[in-house]
Homo-oligomer: A and B are copies of this chain.
Amino acid sequence: MRKKSISIGIIGFGNIGSSVARNLKRNSLLIADRVGVPVKVKVVADKSPAALSRARTMGLDAVSIENVLSDDGVDIIVEAMGGENPAKEIILKAVGSGKSVVTSNKEVIAKNLKRFIEAAKKKNISILFEGAVGGGTPIIGPLQEDLAGNEISLLYGIVNGTTNYILSRMSESGMEFRDALAEAKKKGYAEADPKMDIEGHDSAYKAVILASVAMDADVTIKEVYVEGISKISQEDIKYAADIGYVIKLLAVAKKVKNEVEVRVHPMLLPKAHRLASVSGALNAIYVQGSPVGKVLFSAQGAGGDSTSSAVIGDIIKVAKKIARGDSPVSWNNLRVLKVKKIGEIVSRYYIRLRAPDRSGVLAGISKAFADQKVSIQAVVQKETVGNVATIVILIHDVLEKNLLKAISKIKKLPVVKEVCNVIRVASG
């Protein structure tokens, strides 16, 4: 069924939804040129009266969610509400009625992708979600299309602007976490309740989506190990810098034989790493694949305009297919892959601990690690306050549970006052 124009229904008319409408209109000539026929917003729905009146001010027809879903003239539903519910039911209803869906909702995609793909396949329609990871950064499309001939072995994503802003500020200005967080709130980079960002849950949704698209892995959010940045202190930032590293919160997806690692946690990256200079509210995704090698994608990670670029890119893809009568965008069937428990991963580690500043302490700690067959790359004694020295240790690749065993032994050494922090170190 070829069409003379493509009609969009937008559900959720907040920052992203209204940016999509505005930029579809602003670039309408260029978009019509690329699609072959005009693409227009036909109807808009939102629960908030303020959003609806904003839609009307833009000349748009504001109706109920049910009316958008049942409008036979609508070809593509843009779901821009955020959150799992009621977005999930809305997407399933839209797909069920044969409408293609574009969304930038990371939570609903991370939790329901497999079901959505199956429903879309049954109805022969498209579901796309480029805006769910990295804001304006093209990553889902490139993984699905341009890099489709590669076996992807590793993805590192800086996919949360709030935490990246905070860590960048801690690194640039020497401030502590709580002050950087306060500044981020003041500047609008952190929400009033920043837990989802700070504790890594937002990044975890994105890690699941990246693993799904790049590795066809059917991963549930519960399988993702998540650790946020609230325990990163200025001391860690400073000592990491001293030995040539920066600390970033990374979403990691890694393929190891027939298993995957999907995890979110702070990580030390060498200063020369291409993600190390991605600062502030930027997002970036670093991909290792064969035969391509290493690829970096980076752009503004948040904000209505930037994300609307991703949503509109998806709309154009689907609109072209509808206009030409082509088959829908296809997704591989997701396979259940074993997700490694965090204790089973192999990584390098940074350890910061405190011990009396007296001869033999470094040697004693080194020996204790060696006794546990944990191989040390470097031990550096840092500042001494009172009679207590801070010691920074870098550990070679080791199975995490073995490291943790060694650390629990080391905590019991009479010479060790406190193990202050343990942070994974990137080797890729």
Chain B residue with Cβ nearest A297: B297
**Interface: A150 (CB within 8 A):** yes
**Interface: A31 (CB within 8 A):** yes
**Interface: A56 (CB within 8 A):** no
A341 to B147 CA separation, bound complex (whole angstroms): 37
- Is there an interface contact between A145 and B300, defined as CB atoms closer than 8 Å? no
- Is there an interface contact between A27 and B149, defined as CB atoms closer than 8 Å? yes
| CB proximity to B under 8 Å, residues A275-319 | 277, 284, 289-300, 303, 305-306, 308-310, 312-313, 315-317
Which residues of chain A have a CB within 8 Å of any CB of chain B?
19, 23-24, 26-27, 30-31, 33-34, 36, 130, 136-138, 141-142, 145-151, 216, 274, 277, 284, 289-300, 303, 305-306, 308-310, 312-313, 315-317, 320-321, 324-327, 330, 332
- Is there an interface contact between A23 and B149, defined as CB atoms closer than 8 Å? yes
Which residues of B lie under 8 Å from residue A138 when comparing CB positions? 138, 142, 146-147, 295, 297
Given A34-B332, A274-B298, A293-B305, A149 contacting B24 (CB threshold 8 A): yes
A399 to B90 CA separation, bound complex (whole angstroms): 55
Which of A284, A291, A332 counts the most B-chain CB atoms under 10 A from its CB?
Answer: A291
Given A145-B317, A324-B326, A330-B36, A295 contacting B298 (CB threshold 8 A): yes
User: Secondary structure at chain A's binding surface: helix, strand, loop or mixed?
Assistant: mixed
The residue from B26, B30, B130, B292 contacting A305, defined by CB atoms under 8 A apart: B292
- Is there an interface contact between A297 and B300, defined as CB atoms closer than 8 Å? no
- Is there an interface contact between B327 and A324, defined as CB atoms closer than 8 Å? yes
- Is there an interface contact between B332 and A33, defined as CB atoms closer than 8 Å? yes
- Is there an interface contact between B150 and A309, defined as CB atoms closer than 8 Å? yes
Smallest CB separation, A97 vs chain B (Å): 23
Smallest CB separation, A162 vs chain B (Å): 18
- Is there an interface contact between B300 and A299, defined as CB atoms closer than 8 Å? no
Which residues of B lie under 8 Å from residue A309 when comparing CB positions? 147, 149-150, 289, 291-293
Chain B residue with Cβ nearest A316: B148
Chain B residue with Cβ nearest A284: B296
The 10 closest A-B pairs by CB, nearest first: A149-B312, A292-B309, A138-B146, A291-B305, A326-B326, A141-B146, A295-B299, A136-B292, A296-B298, A23-B291
Which of A216, A296, A305 counts the most B-chain CB atoms under 10 A from its CB?
Answer: A296
Which of A141, A295, A317 counts the most B-chain CB atoms under 10 A from its CB?
Answer: A295
Which residues of B lie under 8 Å from residue A36 when comparing CB positions? 330
Chain B residue with Cβ nearest A287: B299
Given A138-B142, A142-B146, A317-B145, A294 contacting B299 (CB threshold 8 A): yes
Which residues of B lie under 8 Å from residue A300 when comparing CB positions? 292-294
A297 to B309 CA separation, bound complex (whole angstroms): 16
A130 to B142 CA separation, bound complex (whole angstroms): 12
A52 to B303 CA separation, bound complex (whole angstroms): 54
Smallest CB separation, A191 vs chain B (Å): 21
Which residues of B lie under 8 Å from residue A24 when comparing CB positions? 149
- Is there an interface contact between A149 and B298, defined as CB atoms closer than 8 Å? no
Smallest CB separation, A146 vs chain B (Å): 4
Which residues of B lie under 8 Å from residue A296 when comparing CB positions? 284, 296-299
Which residues of B lie under 8 Å from residue A298 when comparing CB positions? 274, 295-296, 298
Which residues of B lie under 8 Å from residue A325 when comparing CB positions? 327
The residue from B284, B306, B320 contacting A291, defined by CB atoms under 8 A apart: B306
Which residues of B lie under 8 Å from residue A136 when comparing CB positions? 291-293, 295
- Is there an interface contact between B316 and A320, defined as CB atoms closer than 8 Å? no
A332 to B141 CA separation, bound complex (whole angstroms): 20
A141-B146, A284-B296 known; 18 new pairs, CB 8 Å cut-off, are A23-B291, A34-B148, A136-B295, A141-B141, A146-B310, A146-B313, A148-B317, A150-B309, A291-B306, A292-B306, A294-B300, A295-B297, A296-B297, A296-B298, A296-B299, A325-B327, A326-B326, A326-B327
The residue from B27, B30, B145, B293 contacting A313, defined by CB atoms under 8 A apart: B145
Given A151-B27, A313-B145, A316-B149, A137 contacting B305 (CB threshold 8 A): no
Chain B residue with Cβ nearest A36: B330
